[in-house]
Amino acid sequence: MRNYFLYFLLSLALIAFVGMSIVYKSEAHRFFGIANSDAVEINYPYSYRVEQLYVKAGQSIRKGDLLATLIRQDLSLEKKMTTNQLAEHHSEEKLKVNQLKSQIKELDLQYKINMDNLQFTISDLRRKIKINKELLATIVGESHSNLNPLVLQLKQLKRDKNNAIALYKGQKRGLSKELNDQMQLFKNRQTSLDTELQGMKNDEKALVVVAPFDGIVSSINHRVHEEVEAFAPLMLLNDAKPTYVKGYISIDNKHQVHVGQEVKIQPITGLDRNTTVEGRIQSFSANVLPYPSRLKRYQNVEMWGIEVIISVPKNSFILGEKIIVLNEEKKETSSSDKIINYFYQASK
């Protein structure tokens, strides 16, 4: 009985060894892989709290679907502070501008008063000089002398008037420039604060997470009300249809394929198992990796090889579907192929 059992174990080992040998030799013209799609990781360069989630892992999504809403505590605080700064800015601007306008108005009023007083005094002196001139002409028959104190006083008043005009123009020019400079300064500050607020509003819009394309929610890494650190992934999205195949080939057969090579891609199971599309090898892994469990018939049998990335055009494959990669014309199914299928195809 014991001998029979040992014989049975040795037979199984021999079959496994022969099967594995056939598998690796068969990879000269075919190997296996899994259909995958490009993934997009949803993350943000700031910390936030998950307010609500509207999807679950594995759920199909359409472009524009609402996926989640987030809350940034720092953004709310920053927005409030900036709004307060803007209000203080408006108050400061109003006060400063009104002060300068008031100074200009006061300057204009004082100038008018001074001009009126000087003009009145000048007119009065002219009247007195005229009267004196007429009196002198009547009494002594002589013309008015330029040495008349009133005439000298009139000349001085005219000089005072010209000086007052020049002083007024200089003061007003200075106040007007200060007013314009202050208004430009406030305008620049206003623009800066408005830009900051607009940026915060745009950030608030970004806190509404929408689907960028039709696809599937592969995973969700955080729960509702959970605090999320900056750059930590919130969720992972995949295209609805596979965009590449991740295949595996033994290191002994790596020389049979090369980057840029066109290969045929065909699903192993499903309704579209006879559908074939053309793919192109994009890259190889730099190191030897273990085969995924889904590509092994026996989970306790270790298999190692090179990972091969193959781009595929638009197709009807299913994400995660097992794929056979043919790098030469498909041949008639042989007993070797049956053994390969036996080792690689998992139970449906």
Q: What is the DSSP string of 77-101?
A: HHHHHHHHHHHHHHHHHHHHHHHHH
Return the structure tokens found at 122: 């000048």
Q: What is the pLDDT of residue 284?
A: 92
247 neighbors 263 (Cβ within 8 angstroms): no
Count of domains in the chain? Answer: 2
The answer to which of 27-36, 113-122, 216-225 has the lowest mean pLDDT is 27-36
pLDDT score at 47? 87
- The answer to whether 240 and 275 are in contact (CB under 8 A) is no
Q: Which residue has tokens 């579209």?
A: 272
Is this structure's pTM higher than 0.85? no
| % pLDDT > 70, the chain | 80
Q: Which of residues 206, 238, 256 is at a domain's end?
A: 206
Strand arrangement of the beta sheet that strand 48-53 belongs to: 208-210, 66-71, 48-53, 227-228
Residue 29 in this model has a pLDDT that exceeds 80: no
> 100 with 182: CB under 8 angstroms?
yes
Same domain, 225 and 320: yes
Question: Does 173 share its domain with 234?
Answer: no
Domain boundary among 150, 176, 206: 206
Cβ-based neighbours of 60, under 8 Å, separated by 6 or more = 214, 215, 216, 240
Core vs surface per residue 38-60: b (16+ CB within 10 A) or e: eebebbbebebebeebebeeeee
156 & 50 share domain: no
> Picking from 110-114, 187-191, 218-222, which range would have the lowest pLDDT averaged per residue?
187-191
Distances (CA, A) of 162 to 118, 155, 222, 319, 345: 10, 11, 80, 92, 108
- Which class for 93: exposed (0-12), middle (13-18), buried (19 or more C-beta within 10 A)? middle
Residue 180 lies in a domain: yes
Tell whether 184 and 241 lie within a shared domain. Answer: no
Exposed / middle / buried, residue 32 (Cβ in 10 Å: 0-12, 13-18, 19+): buried
Residue 71 has pLDDT above 90, yes or no: no
**Could you tell me if 173 and 243 lie in one domain?**
no
Location of structure tokens 């408005």: 194
CA distance 27 to 267: 16
Q: Which of 318, 323, 314 is nearest to 345 (CA)?
A: 323
Task: Please report, as a single letter, which amino acid is at residue 318.
Answer: I
Give per-residue pLDDT as tens, 241-298: 889 999 999 888 888 888 999 999 988 865 566 778 899 999 999 899 998 888 887 7
Instruction: Verify that 233 and 201 share a domain, yes or no.
Output: no
- Asked which of 20-29, 78-87, 296-305, 316-325 is least confident by mean pLDDT, the reply is 20-29
Q: pLDDT at residue 67 above 90?
A: yes
Greatest mean pLDDT among 15-19, 42-46, 126-130: 42-46
Q: Which of 176, 206, 236 is the last residue of a domain?
A: 206
Range of the domain at 144: 74-206
In a domain, 2, yes or no: no
One domain for residues 78 and 195: yes
Task: For residue 65, tell me if it sits in a domain.
Answer: yes
Q: What is the CA radius of gyration of the chain?
A: 46
Residue 220 has pLDDT above 90, yes or no: yes
Residue the block writes with tokens 């010209």: 162
- The residue ranking higher by pLDDT, 298 or 99, is 99
